[in-house]
Amino acid sequence: MDLATEDYVNKVNQLAASVLADSRRRDGQFGHGKTARLGLHSEDLRRYSITRAIKAMLEQRAPGQRASGFEYECSQELHKRLYLPDGTFAVPTEALEMRAMYPGRTVNTSAPAGLSFVDMYRAASVCTRLGVQRLDDLRDDVAIPRQITDAALAWMTPTGSVSASESSFGQISATPKTACAIAEVSEQLLKQSSADKIVMSGLAAVLAVGVDAAIISGAGGAQPLGILNTPGIGTASGASLGYAGLVAVQKTIADANAIMNPEALAYLSTPTIAEVLKGRQRFTGTDSPLWRGALHQGEIEGVQAVSSKQMPSATMLFGDWSTVYVGEWGPLLLRVDRGGTRFNQGLVGIRALWMVDVIPTAPSAFVKITGIT
């Protein structure tokens, strides 16, 4: 079946949303399921500090010392529940979201008010800003059912009858892929009040850029399969790309009934292509560039247009970004290292592991334009 003619986008996203809702409902059933949320009280969340977590890991590595403290106990509880790898430090999901949960309030003395790891990740992620959605705290491999064809509608006369028809179904599967980010901070920084913000914003930015690249063009296998490599998305030639070509991709998606959220429609390309389109006119002899507004975030024919270095060269992607989900499994796992040259330089290496996968629920909601000249 030609995916470009399918009309299942609404049903698919409703099913995906139900998976998310079910996941969040299970979050409240602590003691009855394996989740990366500990059900921490507000007072516990306000005193949680990632800096103290790092210090606890350093204590654990010191000869003859055993780590202690509230953050360490949280990590140990997650290890018991989720059978996590030895030597890793687990950060509860609600601790990554805590500043968003208490806007305008100071969570602890070493963190600014109203700011969370999740906030910082979203700010650094182009795909999230475009409308990609989260399925957080998943447990096992995910199989989201999707309706491929609808039952046929027929008009029945008073004396006639109609033939029965059935819908056909398939599924979209997702399995956790492990993203790894490594940052280095000085031991002096860990003693300062700004440490939480600096450490977590650095890790959030690195993870956001890496996951963005996977969402857009992941090759599959050890990494997620990105939108550009998903079977069934539309294609168009970018040779001498102009007004007609940019409008045509909008028509392709509209004809496929693949617009789930008009607010999440967007063009994504490279800064170089954005520069080219800003210098190319819609109509001869007029001052009306194809790309209007700022280079990093502008507008093309009534739809937002964003540039990112994560896009392959000479390529543009247009579609409804709300039809893409990023599944997240388990907690953020941290590990520290200050051996070798790090020890001599007074540095601490921090490795973050995060298990995710990309779930494009509606290939017909995207068109890729390649070979842009």
Ordered DSSP codes for 60-118: HHSTT----SHHHHHHHHHHHHHTPPTT-EEEPHHHHHHHHHSTTS-SSTTS-TT--HH
CB-neighbour burial class of residue 283 (10 A; exposed 0-12, middle 13-18, buried 19+): exposed
Q: What is the pTM of this model?
A: 0.81
Rounded distance, CA 55 to CA 199, Å?
13
Say if CB 151 and CB 168 are below 8 A apart.
no
Roughly what angle, to the nearest 10 degrees, separates helices 117-124 and 195-217? 40
Specify the pLDDT at position 19. Answer: 47
Domain ranges of the chain: 31-140+175-224+325-356, 231-324+362-370
Specify the pLDDT at position 16. Answer: 47
Specify the pLDDT at position 69. Answer: 87
Specify the pLDDT at position 193. Answer: 79
Specify the pLDDT at position 260. Answer: 92
The CATH number of domain 231-324+362-370, selected from 1.10.1240, 3.30.2320, 2.60.120, 3.40.1360: 3.30.2320
Specify the pLDDT at position 10. Answer: 47
Q: Mean pLDDT for each 10-residue chunk of the chain (373 residues)?
A: 40 47 42 72 87 84 68 92 88 80 39 68 94 88 70 81 71 90 89 86 92 97 96 95 96 94 97 96 87 96 96 98 94 88 88 94 95 95
Q: Are strands 234-237 and 366-370 parallel, antiparallel or unpaired?
A: parallel
Which residue type occupies 238? G
- 34-71 tens-digit pLDDT: 788 999 988 888 888 888 888 888 877 666 556 678 99
- 130-141 tens-digit pLDDT: 999 998 888 888
Specify the pLDDT at position 197. Answer: 85
